[in-house]
Amino acid sequence: MEWLNEILNEISKCSQTKDLELLRLKVFGKKGLLTNEFSNLKNISDDSKKQVAKELNDIKQKIESILTTKKSELEEFELNQKIESQKIDVSLFNSSLSPMYGHPINIIFDKIIDYFVGMDFSLKYGPLVEDDFHSFEALNLPKFHPARDMQDTFYFNDSMLLRPHTSPVQIRTMEEGKLPIRIISPGAVFRRDYDMTHSPMFHQVEALVVDKDKEVNFANLKYILEDFLTYMFGDIKIRFRSSFFPFTEPSAEVDISCVFCKGAGCRVCSNTGWLEVLGCGVVDNNVFKAVGLKDVSGYAFGLGVERFAMLSYGVNDLRSFFETDLRLLEQF
């Protein structure tokens, strides 16, 4: 078989997986060299057929095993080359590099925080690993409420969990008992969700205002949210839609006119012209009871930072925020 040595030689010299595949086809393809030898078997006399077939099979195994070894060598080599070529030397100074890119989530966080700090809110942070009391019980989410479901929340055991919202910070702040309260709480939250618009870890900003007597009311809430949403999204329409949250009464969801179609109706707003952006309400009396506050009133709201970033930047897959792909981040 005069071609055998030549092919083995070509395989050993081959330096790219795609060329190796061509060589494989040259031998094993439909009209390949070895395939031809096998089809010629029928022209061989019966006495030597068995011997020739055995030899062909030996050759077949030999070439296959050489190809397998060569393929993994080349793959490893190509992978190393790729890693090498994409390496970033973080110590290298290059004046042509842009000074810094902000992550879109951080940019939006900063923009939100700037607004509320300017409105005399202070920042308050809470633990990511929370207990049942602060996450649910004190927020008037009774046992067996569907939001407590294992489907939605990551539990460590019966009483400890990864907080599924920033609302526990409301409870921790009120427990300190100092009035007036005027806080926002930015931070990560966790839910068992994963698709274009949900990720198991995302970020919220919670706000809580509490003062004595009837000094804090829905009108204050409405005013600040309208001002805030105009600051975030510019020239938009805003509507309050009555809704339900266990920790507020009355409660509302707030919609803005679609930032993409300006309210005409498009795919993003499901042709409604409106986008839901946050939940809010007047703090339910049961929440005050749970933390031992009396004769006070308050309002609260909570919003998803990724949602704000998606709407601000026209990003349609939330998961791309967490892929740490510089090509995406460089756009901000």
Nearest to 255 by CA among 270, 268, 236, 271: 236
Q: Minimum distance between the CB of residue 205 and ligand DAH, rounded to whole angstroms?
A: 9
Closest by Cα among 182, 187, 181, 184 to 202: 187
Shortest Cβ 297–ligand DAH spacing (Å)? 14
Considering only residues 156-175, where is the footprint of ligand DAH by CB under 6 A? 165, 167
Contact segment (CB under 6 A) with ligand DAH among 24-32, 43-51, 255-263, 294-302 equals 294-302
Regarding 302 and contact with ligand DAH (CB under 6 A), the answer is: yes
* Sites for ligand DAH among residues 19-78 (CB under 6 A): none
Closest CB to ligand DAH belongs to which residue?
A: 302
User: 301 or 321: whose CB is closer to ligand DAH?
Assistant: 301
Considering only the stretches 108-116, 226-234, 259-267, 273-281, report the one whose residues sit in contact with ligand DAH under the rule CB under 6 A: 273-281
Interface with ligand DAH, residue 126, by CB under 6 A: no
Part in contact with ligand DAH (CB under 6 A); list of ranges 103-111, 179-187, 194-202, 277-285:
277-285
Contact status: 248 vs ligand DAH (CB under 6 A): yes
Minimum distance between the CB of residue 276 and ligand DAH, rounded to whole angstroms?
11
| CB atoms inside a 10 Å sphere around CB 66 | 14
- Burial class of 306 by CB neighbour count within 10 A (0 to 12, 13 to 18, 19+): buried
Nearer Cβ to ligand DAH (26/222): 222
> Residues 98-110, buried b or exposed e (16+ Cβ, 10 A)?
eeeeeebbeebbe
Taking alpha carbons only, the member of 27, 11, 28, 25 closest to residue 71 is 11
Number of chain residues interacting with ligand DAH (CB under 6 A): 11
Q: Could you tell me which stretch among 70-78, 105-113, 173-181, 296-304 binds ligand DAH (CB under 6 A)?
A: 296-304
- Phi, psi (deg, nearest 5) at residue 231: -60, -40
From the CB of 304, what's the least distance to ligand DAH, in Å?
A: 8
**Residue 170, both tokens:** 């409301």
Query: 7 near 23, Cβ under 8 Å?
Result: yes
Q: Is the peptide bond before 99 cis (omega within 30 degrees of 0)?
A: no
Residues in region 170-229 near ligand DAH by CB under 6 A? 206
Instruction: Assess 281 for contact with ligand DAH (CB under 6 A).
Output: yes
Note if the bond before 246 is cis, omega within 30 degrees: no
* Cα–Cα distance measured from residue 39 to residue 289, given in angstroms and rounded to the nearest whole number: 88
Q: Does 245 bind ligand DAH (CB under 6 A)?
A: yes
User: Furthest-apart CA pair in the chain: how many Å?
Assistant: 108
- CB of residue 167 vs ligand DAH: minimum separation in angstroms? 4
Q: Which residues bind ligand DAH (CB under 6 A)?
A: 165, 167, 206, 245, 248, 279-281, 300-302
